[in-house]
Amino acid sequence: MRTAAAALTALACLGAGTLAGCGGGGAEGGVSRNEASASRGASPSPSPTSDWNQRPRSIAAVGDSITRGFDACSVLTDCPEASWATGTDASVRSLALRLLGPSRAAEKSWNHAVSGSRMVQLPEQMALAAKERPELVTVMTGANDACRDSARLMTPVADFRTYFEASMRQLRAGAPKARVYVSSVPDLKRLWSTGRTSELGKKIWELGICRSMLADADDLGPAAVARREAVQDRVVAYNEVLRDVCAKDRYCRYDGGAVFDFRFTGTQLSPWDWFHPSRDGQARLAEIAYRNITAAEPPA
């Protein structure tokens, strides 16, 4: 989920004053019940275990541009201070701030996410995270595996599983008892539905953002609908992989599809690309993670 730099640079001159006023606060949205069940699949989540640590004292984050806070603060820029996982922005109240407090979060949280990365890059990030010896590792990746120039270029589900399993092995080689919190891949179709209400947003999308889902945003013909459904089906399949692989690790907790189910509003999307989370959207992700990590039992 990373905007094309050349594309947004070309549009940076468009209505700078208008863009600056597009962000804003908002409440957490509801849940799409039909898609909620699809995101979780038929198999149950892993049973609760006494091995889970509800109050870790150090956090390492891995993933893609969402965890880097891309486009949350300014155009074409990572903004790790606004990251839902390890950020320092008081308005976001990241997971690290909520769990560790400001002083400890500055010393005991690390962000190894890379904007634009896909699951194939996760093993390397996990190896870096393991070197920190964190008590908790947060994982949010997979959107870029579905967000390709065309649907046929999406990462095959079998490869996605292979890379995620390799990532867990990398982590366990260096941090065998680190707890792992795995976020589901966001609902890209929902983001298309929300963002297409912005005319400027659609112009930005036309220059190359997540073409597999966002290309020809107003086209509701059979081919476009089928393309978006194929991307949606792939995201659901990715989430099933995340759940299944996590369930095999005694120290891993999947979010139960909570991020997939979250209904981002316009104010929770970046005013520069109408696709990445804004500061407010990052805050909602932090709330979801904190709620699930500190719960006595894993999400159903």
Residue 136 CA to residue 224 CA, distance in Å, equals 41
- Predicted pLDDT at 279: 97
Q: What is the DSSP letter of 277?
A: B
**27-294: in CATH 3.40.190.10:** no
Tokens in use for 204? 């930005």
- Predicted pLDDT at 50: 58
- Predicted pLDDT at 1: 57
- Predicted pLDDT at 15: 36
The rounded average pLDDT for each run of 10 residues, N- to C-terminus, in the chain (300 residues) is 46 36 34 38 45 96 97 93 97 97 95 97 98 98 97 98 98 97 97 91 89 96 98 98 97 98 94 94 98 94
List phi, psi (to 5°) of 161: -65, -45
- Predicted pLDDT at 201: 85
Q: Which of 250, 171, 199 is nearest to 19 (CA)?
A: 199
Residue 254 CA to residue 250 CA, distance in Å, equals 11
pTM of the predicted structure, to 2 decimals: 0.84
Question: What residues have CB less than 8 Å from 157, skipping those under 6 apart?
Answer: 234, 237, 238, 241
Question: What residues have CB less than 8 Å from 285, skipping those under 6 apart?
Answer: 66, 84, 140, 183, 259, 262, 277
- Predicted pLDDT at 17: 33
pLDDT digits (tens, 9 = 90+) for 72-101: 999 889 999 999 999 999 999 999 999 999
Q: For residue 287, how far is the Cα from the chain centroid?
A: 13
How many Cα atoms are found within 13 Å in the side-chain-facing hemisphere of 183? 31
Residue 124 CA to residue 272 CA, distance in Å, equals 30
Q: Which of 228, 210, 221, 207 is nearest to 269 (CA)?
A: 210
Contact 88, 105 (CB under 8 A): yes
Q: Quick one: how many helices (H) and strands (E) in the chain? A: 15, 5
For residue 198, the tally of other CB atoms under 10 A from its CB is: 17
- Predicted pLDDT at 300: 80
Q: Which of 286, 300, 273 is nearest to 204 (CA)?
A: 273
- Predicted pLDDT at 207: 85
Domain boundaries in the chain? Answer: 27-294
